[in-house]
Every structure is written in C-alpha cells, then in structure tokens.
Structure 1
Amino acid sequence: MLPVLPVNAPYHHGDLRAAALQMGMEKLADQEQPDLGLRALARDLGVSATALYRHFPNKDALLDALALEGLSRLGHSQAEAAEAAGGGEAGFAEVGITYVEWAVQHPALLRLIYSRVGRVDLAIDDPSAMGEAFRQLRKGIAAKMPGDLAPEERTAATLHAWSLVHGLAMLILDGQIDYDPAMIRKVVLMTDLCAP
C-alpha cells in the first residue's frame, strides 16, 4: 500500500508545472478529442489539486498552456523538417507535410490548439509573435514567392498553404480520407503557389 502524503506535503519531483504539462501531453496522446481535468491530473501526478491550482488557476489555464505547448512542439517539428530538407522551397514542402503528419499523430492536441489559441493575423509584420509554426509558414512563403509581391497577395498565399495542409489533416482526422503519407506528399508537392 502506498503511503498517503499530507495535503500540504511539498512536491519533490521537480518542476510541477512542467510535470503537469508533460502528463497532460501524454494524456492527450491517447485521445481523439481533448478531455482533461485538473483534479484528475493532480491525482495522477500524486499531488493535491491545491498544489496544481498554484500553477493553473482553472482548467482553462491548463488547456491554454497545453495548446501553446502543442503549437510550440508543432513548430519545432516543422523547423527540424525544413532544416533537414535544406530550407527554401524543399524545406517549405516539408513544413506542410510535417503539419499533416503531426496532426495525425496528435489529433486531440491539434483540436485543442485550434480551440484555444486565438485568431491568427497572417499579415502581421512580426511572424515570431505568432510562434514557430506560423514563422515557418511565413518563412516558406517568402522562399516560394517573389519579394515584390503585394501584401494582400502574400497573405492570400499564406492562407492557401495553411488551408491546404490543415484541410488535409482535418479530412484525415474526421475520417473523410485515409491517411496515406505518399498521397499527402504528392498533394503538398503539386501545389504551385505562384500560379495566378
């Protein structure tokens, strides 16, 4: 039988916030739709709910933090894929392919991201303010399109690329099409953003 710790016992396993985010990510990995609760998470971590509330005052705060962490992980995966492909247009294609693959591997997390992260301004001047995933999107558009393109055309191209990969991901996640990595690659590579 496990010893029962007093409610006010200090957390001895390191950074509770980081541990909660990691466990939240692990729980989301087994879900199709995001469903987490603070009390259950605290119980699984072996801490009191009060201890966890010090880091996340409510469930919304936890879900917001998980969504931002998920978006960061997506962006990191995309950046690695772009770098491995040598950047430029080839790197941009890998950014899109990675988006779909990542979404298929993390369906609940992708749904959480888009239900929690605020509206994205694709015309924003500072793409780093939008996080790594959107920075990769803007960087890819810059590599793919002429530098003298009008801002509204650049925004339309960015929306086109994002819609393509997000649409593919959602079609797969919603069971409308099968996940076929070779077909996903073909669809992403056949897109010509420079076409009028």
Structure 2
Amino acid sequence: MGATNPNAVSITSKESCDVTRPYSKPARSYHHGDLRAALLASARVLLEESGPASLSVREIARRVGVAAPSVYHHFANLDALTLALVEQGFTEFAHQLKEAPTNAKGRMRETGTAYIRFACTNPNLYRLMFGEGFRLASNASGPIRQLRQLTYDKLSAGLSLRLPPEKVPDAALYLWSITHGLAMLIIDGQLGAEANVEDRIQAVLGLAGAGLPTSATSDPPHSGVRAQLPPKNRCST
C-alpha cells in the first residue's frame, strides 16, 4: 500500500475536490534494471518527508538498498538527480492541468483549482520546482523550461478569446501571480485553520476572473496569441 505524503494539504470540497490524492511511493520492489526509477522514487518520498535540504545521494541510495556509488551510474551528481526530479514534477503538473475541464466559461477557475491542488498535494516538490533550495530549477533550460511553458500555456488558455492580443501577456502574468501566490500561502500554512480552504480558493479565483477586462470590440476572438513565460529577472535595488 502506498505511503501517504505527510505534508499534503487537504482541500475540502462540496463536490469534486473532497479527496487529496498525495504522491505515493510505488508498492513493488525495484530490481537493478529499475534503479534509476527507484532512485527518483526514493528521492521523491524523502523530499516530501523532509524538504529540499534533506536530499543527499547517500540517503537516497540507503533507502533503495544500494551503495552510494551506484547512483552515479545513472546521475552525474546530486544536482542531476534533483533536476530529473524537477522534470518529473513538471511533467505531472502539465498533465494535471491538461486534465482540468476546458469549458470556455469555467476554464480559468477549473485550471486554477487544478494548479493549486497540485501544489497542495506535493508541497515540497512544488517548492523545489520553483527553485526553493535549488537554484538550478528556476534557471533550467531545455525540457524543464518547455514543461514550465506548457503549464503556463494551460493556465492562460482562453485569454485570447476575451482579450485583445496586446493584453494577453499581462493578463497571463496576473493569473499566474494569483495562483502561484495563493498556492504558496496555503502550503506555507498562512491562511490559518480554515474550515474550508476550497471555499477560499474558489472565492479568490472568482475575483481574479472578475478582475480581467473583456474586449470592447465586436471582432471575432483573437486566436493564436500565446503568452510567453516571463524571463528570469530579479528586482533591482
């Protein structure tokens, strides 16, 4: 039977969000042909138990039952293993957002809920994916940046149906700021002992949707407009 993520944040809902489905470690034993997958599964469980700072080659190998040098047959170092974990996280994240309902009326709210649910179910993985304790994650290029763009695309899907093209990038950033910020507040316990976190999620996402302008023109919907993920910039002082 799978192990329950002790850090998952439960989301209570009157409808479809009544159960949080935390990441579970695979039940079967790994043989050496599956060592790479076993190492990632071990790292994933360790991460959710103790946070990004807990990851170490020695401890991950110990949990799998192999000597630490065996890890280096699959990963050059701990950074490479951690990047693979981040890539795995973004793959799951993109899939979860893709599975969210896509009806035009409720697209933003449903996608936003799926976004926040992923963070609540995998709090330490979510932190790692966005660079907490591992700067390489936020600066990564290649597959990880492509996967991050996919999640951004899904979150901002439909904006071109209600906004002129020049407003789509800022609106996409607006939505991302709200969903990411709310997710972090929840997984950091900043909302307090809420009776129903789901109610707060739906209220905030509803206000976010109400805050978006609509196109005043009667032209056909703008299609093909894609909001690019913002570049990595730091606040200047």
TM-score (norm 1): 0.76
Match of 1:112 in 2: 128
Deviation of the 1:146 alpha carbon: 3.5
Report how many residues are paired: 175
- Segment of structure 1 superposing worse, 88-97 or 42-51: 88-97
Match of 1:66 in 2: 85
Equivalent residue in structure 2 for 1:145, among 135, 160, 166: 160
For 1:56 and 1:129, locate their aligned partners in 2 and report how far apart those are by CA, in whole Å.
20
For 2:189 and 2:84, locate their aligned partners in 1 and report how far apart those are by CA, in whole Å.
28
Distance 1:89 1:50, change over 3 A: farther
What are the residue-to-residue correspondences of 1:33-182 with 2, within 5 Å?
33-80=52-99, 82=100, 85-115=101-131, 116-119=136-139, 130-131=146-147, 134-146=149-161, 149-151=164-166, 153-178=167-192, 180-182=197-199
Gap runs ≥5 in structure 2? 1-29, 215-237
For 1:18 and 1:92, locate their aligned partners in 2 and report how far apart those are by CA, in whole Å.
34
Gap runs ≥5 in structure 1? 1-10, 122-127
Distance 1:120 1:93, change over 3 A: farther
Q: Is contact 1:77-1:98 (8 Å) kept?
A: yes
For 1:171 and 1:146, locate their aligned partners in 2 and report how far apart those are by CA, in whole Å.
30
The runs of at least 4 consecutive aligned structure 1 residues that moved more than 6 Å come to: none
- Segment of structure 1 superposing worse, 170-179 or 154-163: 170-179
For 2:137 and 2:206, locate their aligned partners in 1 and report how far apart those are by CA, in whole Å.
28
For 2:140 and 2:45, locate their aligned partners in 1 and report how far apart those are by CA, in whole Å.
26
* RMSD, aligned α-carbons: 2.8
Deviation of the 1:129 alpha carbon: 6.1
For 1:195 and 1:89, locate their aligned partners in 2 and report how far apart those are by CA, in whole Å.
15
Q: Percent of counterpart pairs with the same letter?
A: 33
Match of 2:226 in 1: none
Q: Which amino acid counterpart does residue 117 of structure 1 have in structure 2?
A: A
SS in 2 for 1:96: helix
Deviation of the 1:50 alpha carbon: 1.4
Q: Which amino acid counterpart does residue 46 of structure 1 have in structure 2?
A: G
Deviation of the 1:30 alpha carbon: 2.0
For 1:41 and 1:95, locate their aligned partners in 2 and report how far apart those are by CA, in whole Å.
34
SS in 2 for 1:88: coil
Q: Is contact 2:48-2:124 (8 Å) kept?
A: yes
For 2:37 and 2:91, locate their aligned partners in 1 and report how far apart those are by CA, in whole Å.
14
For 1:47 and 1:18, locate their aligned partners in 2 and report how far apart those are by CA, in whole Å.
13
Q: Is contact 2:107-2:158 (8 Å) kept?
A: no
Deviation of the 1:176 alpha carbon: 2.0
Q: Is contact 1:34-1:111 (8 Å) kept?
A: no
